[in-house]
A and B are shown apart, each in its own frame.
Chain A
Amino acid sequence: MDRRRLRPPGLTIDEARSWATVGVFSALALALCYVETFIPIPVPIPGVKPGLANAVVLTSLVVLDCRSACCVAAIKVLAIGFLFGSPIMIAYSAVGTLFATLAMSVLVKIPHLHMVPVAVVGAMLHNVGQLMVANVMLQTTLVWMSAPIMLVVACATGAITGLLAQHLVSIARAEIG
């Protein structure tokens, strides 16, 4: 059978391959987010979690491109929100993920920069975005009181997701080529 006839109309093989990778990464993000719910958090602050799905967004920024990473991020926000969360959670997650993805998409362009600092900045901006939403929703600037703690926690979780992303990148490069 001719390989061309299997191709969806309007897509080159490379495009189809990259969309398929987006799908795989999105599935991985969902799986990681589900796994995350089993990890106990020793910090008694609501909303603190490892954010492992962020590692997948970072991986797709490195392996694919900014547009694909935004797709993965959008699927991550909507699918995780509808599967495990609530509309309110989607609002928090959407702004946080938007900030994180934008910042990381800039930082991954910097040569010689390790994945960990990129992920840390992403995690920090994710928290800042969430605090902004909290500020608007709760109508109080008092939420910023937790910002320093959130940023410190983001350094730890960002380091974990950064290392995870590095492994994911090496795996993905080996598999996808």
Chain B
Amino acid sequence: MKKHVKHLHRMNIIVAAVIVLTVIASFIIAGQPAFYAEPSSLTAIVHAGDGQTYRFPLDVDTTATVNSELGSNQFTVENGSIRATDADCNNHDCVRQGRISTPGQRIICLPHELWVEVVGEKKAAESSEGGIADGTGEEQSDAGTQASQDSHPDGGTPSSDVDTVGS
């Protein structure tokens, strides 16, 4: 065994060092959030219990209440993250789940059958198409929601992505 170690050529150590450096570099590069998506392109999508979806771009600070027949949840967007700030349920689990700000993160509210996800821009377009399929049209979305400040319900139209919200 020792003989092998003794006979390890310098070349092996060089290549091994390159391998180790590559792995370390990959950790550093892959750890950069900027590598994955523009922060401004992130959108929080609230899937309400009645099948409606509402989008909140994470770069626009706002507070909004999402209502469905199952109950209402209040969300606050600030500093590029969204969190539930209030809800009219018993357990307030959604509030306890804190803020989410990166794609894939979720807030789930069981009593109101509501969930929030953060998506990048590309997936936001896909989800909006899905919104047509299970959405229930504009009339109901107006009745179902009183968005408190400058957020409007998105009736599920793919074109009204970021422009509609906040107008």
**Residues of A that sit less than 8 Å from B by CB:** 107, 110-114, 117-118, 120-121, 124, 139-142, 144-145, 147-148, 151-152, 155
**Cβ-Cβ contact count across A and B, 8 Å cutoff:** 54
Q: How large is the interface on B (under 10, 10 to 19, 20 to 34, 35 or more residues)?
A: 20 to 34
Binds A, one of B29-37, B86-94, B146-154: B29-37
**A-B contact sample (4 more), CB < 8 A, given A112-B9, A152-B23, A155-B19:** A112-B10, A114-B9, A124-B19, A151-B23
Complex interface: chain A residues within 8 A of B158 (CB): none
- Please give me the residue from chain A that is nearest to B27 by CB atom: A148
* Residues A121 and B37 in contact in the complex (CB < 8 Å), given A113-B11, A139-B122: no
Cα A107 to Cα B12 in complex, Å, equals 11
Q: Which 3 A-B pairs have the closest CB atoms?
A: A112-B9, A117-B15, A148-B27
Are the CB atoms of A142 and B104 closer together than 8 Å?
yes
- Please give me the residue from chain A that is nearest to B31 by CB atom: A148
Are the CB atoms of B122 and A151 closer together than 8 Å?
no
Are the CB atoms of B26 and A113 closer together than 8 Å?
no
**Distance of A43 from chain B, by nearest CB (Å):** 16
Are the CB atoms of A145 and B23 closer together than 8 Å?
no
Complex interface: chain A residues within 8 A of B30 (CB): 144-145, 147-148
8 Å CB contacts to A: which residues of B79-128?
103-104, 120, 122-123
Complex interface: chain A residues within 8 A of B103 (CB): 142
* Residues A121 and B104 in contact in the complex (CB < 8 Å), given A113-B9, A147-B30, A151-B26: no
Asked if B16 is an interface residue, CB under 8 A from chain A, the answer is yes
Are the CB atoms of B11 and A112 closer together than 8 Å?
yes
Are the CB atoms of B15 and A107 closer together than 8 Å?
yes
Complex interface: chain B residues within 8 A of A147 (CB): 26, 30
Cα A148 to Cα B35 in complex, Å, equals 14
Complex interface: chain A residues within 8 A of B22 (CB): 124, 151
Complex interface: chain B residues within 8 A of A145 (CB): 30, 36
Are the CB atoms of A111 and B11 closer together than 8 Å?
yes
Cα A142 to Cα B121 in complex, Å, equals 13
